[in-house]
Structure 1
Amino acid sequence: MTLPEPLRLDTPAEHPFAEFVRILGKGKRGARALTREEAFRAMGMVLDGDVEDTQLGAFLMLLRHKEESAEELAGFTEAVRARVKAPALNVDLDWPSYAGKKRHLPWYLLAVKCLGQNGLRVFVHGGGAHTAGRLYTEHLLDALDLSLCRDWQAVGAALDATGVAFAPLSDWAPALQRMIDLRNTLGLRSPIHSLARVLNPLGARCGLQSIFHPGYQPVHREAARLLGDTSIVIKGDGGELEVNPDAACHLYGTAGGEAWDEEWPQMSAQRHLKPGYLDPAQLNAVWRGEAEDRYGELATIATMALALRGLGKPQEEAFAKARAWWGARNSAH
């Protein structure tokens, strides 16, 4: 006769990551935001693979429901930067590109190209085509002669050659890309979509961020300030870093540990009609001067001016230089 096994009376050890899920999810009165140090430790465990899938899903959605704080974004960013092990490359502008465009063409790509053509070094990074019906930077690199770089050595070479390098997030922070890809599983964007915009992994002189949802812009500005970064945050068109000439643009800036604000007026007296469909060939036609697009050219110039403003140029000077560079874009360099 086989005797039953004795009952286990020992209590299973709590998973180390459970602490962070509990902090975020302990009810209306008990829950709170993570401190910067807690955020650093939590994201470190996620990136190191020390978290169960169920914990990760709960963690991301609790953050999403609460809305991430500046301290959390700063702590998460520090954890990512500590693990990316990026080389020391000279970069002027960090340019996150994660939203894609659906109402207008991605005119910001002409801004990027023109800035690179004029001696600035622009590092662009994105997170894949995660939403149907949008045009993403990755779709247009070949057509615009912009470099797709799969490692840091290629990024450095592209910056030296053309001033512009695009690197997919999946290559230099694959764990973050996997979390972004959970959008279709969880049904909601996670804070990783926001975090990717703060990262500035190469320590560029200025990080430019586009945050579409109202109220998030000051949070991102404060995260950059906590990190000691120079940054400008705007509500870009469709979530991409592109100034909409049909609307006023508020700049949330930080430099030298100080926050600043600036209001740019609407550039066009009348709103432009949304195109019936997006034809990417129009970008090259406008670049070469074979076609005109009033909206596109205003958006491109204003976006270039935004980048120059981030590098310390006053608004009037930034616009004057952007217009001059745009006008000379097909001249010999």
Structure 2
Amino acid sequence: MTNLLEQAASTPLSREEARLLMQALLRGDFSEEQMTALLLALQQREETAQELAGFAEAMRSASVVLPLTDEERATLVDTCGTGGDDSGTFNISTAVALTAAGAGVPIAKHGNRSVTSKCGSADVLEALSIPVGLEAEQAAEVIRAKGFAFLLATKMHPAMKIVAAVRKTIGTRTIFNVLGPMTNPAGATTQVMGVYSAHLVPIVAEALALMGMRRAMVVHGAGDEGGSGIDELSISGVSQISEVRDGVVKSYTVAPEHAGLKRAPMSALAGGDAKENAAILRGIFGSEPGPRRDVVLFNAAAVLMVAGKANSLRKGVQVAVAAIDSGVVSRLVYSLGKR
């Protein structure tokens, strides 16, 4: 393990080597100094698909597993993204998850509290009175009954306590920002995963294909001209997509116009704390027009596509509009809060 630890600092690992290294890390075989050195070293070089697959598989094997059937897992979709894009947007992927669930897509939303932003997905859901600390059995029951449940990362990945202090000390995004969204505890076989950098799009997609993901879109959207991008499909510019379908990865780009949407600056998507972001989501679900609604529709359309509910982004937008404007999404949010 010490040899692997030293190798990982400068040389890509095989899938099996990555799996063994992560298993040792989660067992607590390394000191905090060794873990810090590893995470900082991985920041300095590009990840490979083989490494990401091996790391993520080890994390999945150490996580709590929801008691669902294979048939149930086959219908589940996740919208968890990496975060860490420093965009300051509201909780887009959380709004997307609720919108898609309202449109009939069973969602197992994986996420956490705020780490690098003002408001994490768990924070805004709590502000909407939606439970975020469900046990595995409770989450499975809610998915069956409501079509949506939130899976709190710290609850579902107890072994990650090993690296919590190290990640806090480092204070910036690490490889775990990428690995977290790849380790859905419900075993979702379909996913739309936003990543904080365009270079990660094809790499993560290939890793998901190696892990047997049935269908997925890995996305990164452009920000304003000259600005940083976001871990979502963007309405401010062109978005990069690598789509996984039955083990095959296809890469392409899309613009908001392809889905019948207008462009808007990143400033129009700004968020705040949990209370402010909850108010933004209520406004969107109450059919309030504008860029915030549009970016949710765009990303919800991607979820509807991978779930087989729409055959194009334009059609997906129409389905998402119907779910919101009919009041179905607002009623779902109310129902989840009344559990």
Q: Is the 8 A contact 1:198 1:207 kept in 2?
A: no
Structure 1: how far apart are the matches of 2:317 and 2:42? 39
Runs of 5+ consecutive residues of structure 2 not aligned to the other structure: 333-339
Structure 2: how far apart are the matches of 1:95 and 1:20? 32
Identity, % of aligned pairs?
22
1:60-139 superposed matches below 5 A:
60-89=39-68, 90-91=72-73, 92-97=76-81, 99=83, 103-131=88-116, 134-139=118-123
Query: 2:251 aligned to 249, 257, 261, which one?
Result: 261
1:67-216 superposed matches below 5 A:
67-89=46-68, 90-91=72-73, 92-97=76-81, 99=83, 103-131=88-116, 134-176=118-160, 178-179=162-163, 181-216=165-200
- The letter for the 1-side match of 2:144 is D
- The letter for the 1-side match of 2:304 is L
1:276-296 CA-to-partner distances (Å, cap 9, x unmatched) read 76433232133224xx34101
1:274 aligns with 2:267: yes
Instruction: Give, in angstroms, the shift of residue 259 of structure 1.
Output: 0.8
SS of residue paired to 1:134:
coil
Query: 2:304 aligned to 289, 308, 311, which one?
Result: 308
Structure 2: how far apart are the matches of 1:136 and 1:209? 16
Q: Is the 8 A contact 1:248 1:266 kept in 2?
A: yes
Q: Is the 8 A contact 1:102 1:135 kept in 2?
A: no
- The letter for the 1-side match of 2:17 is E
Structure showing the higher helix proportion among its residues: 2
SS of residue paired to 1:274:
helix
Structure 2: how far apart are the matches of 1:302 and 1:200? 23
- The letter for the 2-side match of 1:319 is V
Q: Over the residues paired in the alignment, what is the CA RMSD in angstroms?
A: 2.7
Structure 1: how far apart are the matches of 2:22 and 2:32? 14
Q: Normalising to structure 1: TM-score of the pair?
A: 0.82
Instruction: Give, in angstroms, the shift of residue 51 of structure 1.
Output: 1.9
Q: Normalising to structure 2: TM-score of the pair?
A: 0.81
Partner of 1:37: 16
Structure 2: how far apart are the matches of 1:272 and 1:50? 47
1:47 aligns with 2:44: no
- Decide which structure has the larger Cα Rg and report it: 1
Q: Is the 8 A contact 1:98 1:127 kept in 2?
A: no
Structure 1: how far apart are the matches of 2:134 and 2:48? 32
Runs of 5+ consecutive residues of structure 1 not aligned to the other structure: 1-16, 26-30
SS of residue paired to 1:208:
strand
Higher relative contact order (CA 8 A, sep 6+): 2
Q: Call closer, same or farther: CA 1:50–1:273 in 2, change over 3 Å.
A: closer
Instruction: Give, in angstroms, the shift of residue 127 of structure 1.
Output: 3.2
Q: Call closer, same or farther: CA 1:67–1:22 in 2, change over 3 Å.
A: same
Query: 1:326 aligned to 295, 320, 324, which one?
Result: 324
Q: Call closer, same or farther: CA 1:168–1:220 in 2, change over 3 Å.
A: same
Partner of 1:226: 210
Q: Is the 8 A contact 2:53 2:207 kept in 1?
A: yes
Q: Call closer, same or farther: CA 1:110–1:126 in 2, change over 3 Å.
A: closer
Structure 2: how far apart are the matches of 1:222 and 1:163? 28
1:48-104 CA-to-partner distances (Å, cap 9, x unmatched) read 222222221122222221232111110111112222251342242122255278533
